[in-house]
Structure 1
Amino acid sequence: MSFIKHQEVDAMRFEDRVAIVTGAGGGIGRSTALLLADQGAVVAVNDLDPAAAGAVVAEIEAKGGKGCVIVGDAADEAVADEASARVLNAYGRIDILVNNAGISVVAPAEDFVAWDRVIRTNLYSQFYWSRVVAKTAMIPAGRGAIVNVASIAGLAAVPNQIGYVVSKHGVVGLTRSLAVEWGRYGIRVNCVCPGITATDMTTGPTGMDPERLRARVGRVPLGRMGTVGEQAEAIAFLASDAASYLSGVILNNDGGQLALHSGVMM
């Protein structure tokens, strides 16, 4: 009986919470926004594409949840400032921030020219949103949960993705720094590092070469890609009260990939 009660409570673990998810028009961000809303949160959905963000909010509302659209480039400091003010004015609080927006540009290091764009989107954006949400909402409230989305490329290098690797390593450092500085305000800051996951970046029309994709999946001990739902569950756990004493955690949700010795064939 106690297990059943726990499950009932857990199903609405974000009731009366307000969350912002950046880059939530698709992939892991979309799945996270939907999960948080399903479990009771009001979710502000940020994306550069208004149609994509609108579709996510429409799906939330169709299931009886509450959400709002925040259109804009997550890497634009002004967008972060304006969005946080709008959410705070509308709902009076911001309890959860999921910094998910990110891009990848593939090129050899010697030919890589998208440095500023990738670093700003993947790293600067996370600092901008974290800073404004902490200052305006979480520090005054004495509580809050920030979950940054990095990658296993933030823990080990991937060839031909120098901007992505460097920015995601930066996210890991950002997470630890903010967890140390903001713990005194009751703010927990954690990070999820997804392994290879079925999204448009991997399996879509502009995704990975099928041969390379098969080789990558072949090196995952669990023998498959992760799903966006599995990544969303990890993010939601770290944002929830079930993780109330976890801060500064770097969670590689990768099917065991980083546990595998690089010189051993599967």
Structure 2
Amino acid sequence: MSMTFSGQVALVTGGAAGIGRATALAFASEGLKVVVSDLDAANGEATVEAIRAAGGEACFLRCDVTREADVKALMEGVIGAYGRLDYAFNNAGIEIEKGKLADGGEDEFDAIMAVNVKGVWLCMKHQIPLLLAQGGGAIVNTASVAGLGAAPKMSIYAASKHAVIGLTKSAAIEYAKKKLRVNAVCPAVIDTDMFRRAYEADPRKAEYAAAMHPVGRIGLVEEIAAAVLYLCSDGAAFTTGHALAVDGGVTAI
């Protein structure tokens, strides 16, 4: 199936590493111009250089998604760089907490909610007018399997990802007749720097993380990128308001 993306423009937040970098590279490989955004300018620029080295076109714009002024400036930068926006992948997120609900702190709660929920909301708020100006398009938000059910010892993170799915579904219905589709991807454990930081001190936990997936391994960033591109493609033209589990079978148990 052709992705039919040539000449269009995609924005990827959290594009400095992991799922964001893989998705930015995947968009570029399909002929899109890509705006990579992140707080981490050095690694964000590295993503852009990787795209250019492969023959693609991209630029980096730094943004703190928790600040509306930054998000507004990001959208202005997208238009300034390429004149349009067709697809947005709202992937910027913060790591999970590691304790039971009653052990959590207010600062931790505020930080997770600010990035994972407010950040997605602000990005969609300012992306939607640009997408509507092009006659529609697609937004994909990064949620999690933790947003599809219970997630012991990461209740704040789970709540934030349930909220992302709520934002996704609500926006999808609000703009369904405007040819703007809004979906979410819900990864299980994926092989990213975040995963390695969480499990490098105890290899047994990494083995357990692999074993909890019915397919017997954790996921790859390229597999999430492929799901994002599908949700943006014409092949998903009848798909909106969906939270797509890309989880090695975890949610089927």
Under a length normalisation based on structure 2, what TM-score does the superposition of the two structures give? 0.94
Root-mean-square deviation (CA, aligned residues, Å) is 1.5
1:21 corresponds, among 4, 12, 16, to: 12
User: Corresponding residue for 1:216?
Assistant: 209
User: Corresponding residue for 1:70?
Assistant: 61
Shift of 1:205: 6.8
Gaps of 5+ in 2: none
Q: State the alpha-carbon separation in 2 of the partners of residues 27 and 208 from structure 1.
A: 20
Q: List 4+ stretches of structure 1 deviating above 4 A.
A: 205-208
Matches within 5 A, 1:78-117: 78-104=69-95, 105-113=97-105, 114-117=108-111
User: Corresponding residue for 1:152?
Assistant: 145
Under a length normalisation based on structure 1, what TM-score does the superposition of the two structures give? 0.90
Tell me the SS of whatever aligns to 1:33. helix
- 1:167-218 residue CA offsets vs partner (Å, 9 max, x unmatched): 0000111110000001121100001000111111212477574222322321
Gaps of 5+ in 1: 1-5, 261-266
User: Corresponding residue for 1:43?
Assistant: 34
User: Corresponding residue for 1:53?
Assistant: 44
Worse overlay, 88-97 or 189-198:
88-97
Identity %: 39
Shift of 1:109: 1.5
User: Corresponding residue for 1:203?
Assistant: 196
Number of residue pairs matched by the alignment? 250
Instruction: Tell me which of the two structures has the higher relative contact order, counting C-alpha pairs closer than 8 angstroms and 6 or more residues apart.
Output: 2
User: Corresponding residue for 1:183?
Assistant: 176
Q: State the alpha-carbon separation in 2 of the partners of residues 81 and 134 from structure 1.
A: 12
User: Corresponding residue for 1:121?
Assistant: 115
Q: Which has the larger radius of gyration?
A: 1
Preserved CA contact (<8 Å) 1:23 1:101: yes
Q: Does 1:192 align with 2:185?
A: yes
